[in-house]
């Protein structure tokens, strides 16, 4: 698994320490083990998890600004856990409403010794942030409109950003943004080992 991860990283400009690579592999091992009982992800093959969960998450790291982030609807910790591993100077709140996912995340926190993540069980609209976040990250929301309506209370008013990890660029959704939100930038992403479209949509307050 470590060799597979290193071969994927070799095709990118992402440089990680041995400890970070080992933590990423250990996370995939845990995800694979817990998945059998908890059904945390539809991806069953650990080799595919390295591509579809690890590489797919950490590729956005260079585009994040700030040090306090919240991953809403994090599920089993995606993209928050991989990002926390490669970005140890930042703090990630991992928010999910399902108890089994949060239990898994607490075990990840314990076994990997991640001091910069905080798993929280809550519905996003009921979560009270203190203080506000530099970035709101989402990989699983149905639409940008849902993300913005449910998460509008989470980012800092001026400097805060919404980071939506998308597949095919949702052009229709981008034409229907609320007036108080503007498109900052769209970044096409290349995922090592994955022949599918990926985009990072960054939004900010007007």
Query: Are the C-beta atoms of residues 8 and 51 closer than 8 Å to each other?
Result: yes
Total structural domains in the chain?
1
Instruction: Provide the edge-to-edge strand list for the sheet that holds 198-205.
Output: 117-121, 91-96, 68-72, 135-138, 161-166, 198-205, 181-189
pLDDT tens for residues 43-89? 999 999 999 999 999 999 999 999 999 999 999 999 999 999 999 99
CATH code for the domain in which residue 174 is found: 3.40.50.150
Give the length of the chain.
206
3-class secondary-structure state, position 135: strand
Q: Which DSSP letter does residue 13 get?
A: S
Rg (CA), the chain: 16
pLDDT value, residue 142? 82
* Chain mean position to CA 150: 17
User: Does the annotation list 124 as a binding residue?
Assistant: yes
Q: What is the pLDDT of residues 114-139, one digit of tens each?
A: 999 999 999 999 999 999 999 999 99
Look up the domain containing 51 and give its range.
1-205
Using pLDDT thresholds of 50, 70 and 90, give the confidence band for residue 140: confident
139 annotated ligand-binding residue: yes
How many angstroms separate the most distant Cα atoms in the chain? 48
The pTM for the full model equals: 0.97
């Amino acid at each position: 698994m470590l060799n597979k991860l290193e071969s994927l990283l070799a095709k990118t400009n992402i440089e990680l320490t041995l400890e970070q690579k080992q933590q990423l592999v250990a996370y995939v091992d845990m995800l694979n083990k817990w998945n059998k009982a908890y059904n945390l992800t539809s991806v069953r093959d650990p080799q595919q998890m390295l591509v579809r969960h690890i590489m797919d998450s950490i590729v956005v790291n260079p585009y994040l600004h700030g040090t306090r982030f919240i991953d809403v609807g994090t599920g089993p910790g995606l993209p928050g856990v991989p990002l926390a591993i490669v970005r140890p100077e930042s703090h990630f709140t991992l928010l999910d409403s399902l108890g089994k996912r949060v239990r898994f995340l607490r075990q990840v926190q314990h076994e990997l010794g991640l001091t910069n993540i905080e798993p929280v069980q809550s519905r996003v609209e009921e979560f009270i942030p203190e203080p506000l976040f530099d970035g709101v990250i989402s990989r699983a929301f149905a639409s940008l409109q849902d993300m913005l309506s449910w998460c509008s209370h989470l980012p800092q008013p001026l400097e805060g950003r919404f980071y939506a990890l998308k597949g095919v660029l949702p052009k229709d959704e981008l034409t229907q943004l609320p007036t108080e939100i503007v498109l900052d930038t769209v970044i096409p992403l290349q995922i090592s080992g994955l022949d599918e479209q990926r985009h990072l949509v960054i939004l900010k307050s007007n």
